């Protein structure tokens, strides 16, 4: 029997509100001030409903390109029928295959994304106490719980702790202490 992965409990560290720091809300509010005044409240609701409907399709488009297409999504663990169903839904809604779709308002830096994915894999591979499993269905989050805490939690790129450690080692003074300030990064709690 496969149990749900243990997820962090953020009740002891709640966000300021359900809106987080209200970054998205303030961005939207600033933009919405310029909406056409003839738009009725129902039209504004329709915009939100369309966003919700499209979010899954755009996420699939991102996964398609980030993974490298059908074969890589299947290799990653998606069932063939799931991929075909998502392609059909995408094509039905946008009228084009996800391989050919482009969103003029969205321009991902795929090279940077793939380098970050590679760094996550390298960080994982460098962990001597990592769990070894023959199952590809292990649910690992993008930034797994065993990875070091990011210095900037808002930076969604993989944190390269090996490069930082090498940089610290290269800055050793004759006394044997690292030069510069000796700040400590908080360590993640170990899980049982």
What range defines the domain where residue 165 resides? Answer: 109-192
Residue 142 CA to residue 124 CA, distance in Å, equals 11
E strand spans, 45-159? none
Tell whether 9 is covered by a domain: no
Kindly report the pTM of this predicted structure.
Answer: 0.61
Tell whether 8 is covered by a domain: no
- Check whether residue 117 and residue 184 sit in a common domain: yes
- Check whether residue 98 and residue 113 sit in a common domain: no
Query: How far is residue 18 CA from its own chain's centroid?
Result: 19
Give the model's pLDDT for residue 129: 59
Tell whether 3 is covered by a domain: no
pLDDT in tens, 10-36: 778 788 888 888 888 899 889 888 888
pLDDT in tens, 115-146: 888 887 787 777 765 555 544 444 444 554 44
Tell whether 11 is covered by a domain: no
Tell whether 166 is covered by a domain: yes
pLDDT in tens, 158-185: 555 556 666 666 655 445 444 444 444 4
pLDDT in tens, 60-71: 999 999 999 999
Give the model's pLDDT for residue 176: 46
- Domains: count for the chain: 2
- Check whether residue 95 and residue 151 sit in a common domain: no
């Amino acid at each position: 029997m496969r149990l749900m992965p243990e997820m962090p409990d953020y009740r002891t560290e709640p966000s300021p509100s359900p809106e987080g720091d209200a970054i998205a809300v303030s961005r939207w509010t600033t933009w919405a001030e310029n909406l056409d005044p003839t738009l009725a409240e129902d039209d504004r609701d329709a915009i939100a409903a369309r966003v919700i409907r499209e979010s899954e399709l755009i996420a699939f488009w991102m996964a398609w390109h980030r993974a490298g297409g059908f074969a890589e999504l299947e290799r990653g663990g998606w069932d063939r029928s799931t991929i075909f169903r998502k392609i059909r839904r995408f094509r039905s809604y946008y009228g084009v295959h996800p391989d050919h779709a482009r969103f003029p308002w969205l321009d991902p830096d795929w090279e940077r994304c793939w380098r970050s994915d590679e760094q996550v894999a390298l960080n994982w591979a460098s962990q001597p106490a990592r769990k070894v499993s023959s199952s590809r269905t292990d649910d690992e989050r993008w930034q797994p719980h065993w990875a070091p805490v990011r210095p900037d939690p808002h930076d969604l790129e993989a944190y390269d702790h090996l490069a930082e450690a090498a940089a610290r080692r290269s800055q050793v003074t004759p006394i044997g202490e690292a030069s510069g300030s000796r700040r400590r990064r908080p360590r993640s709690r170990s899980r049982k």
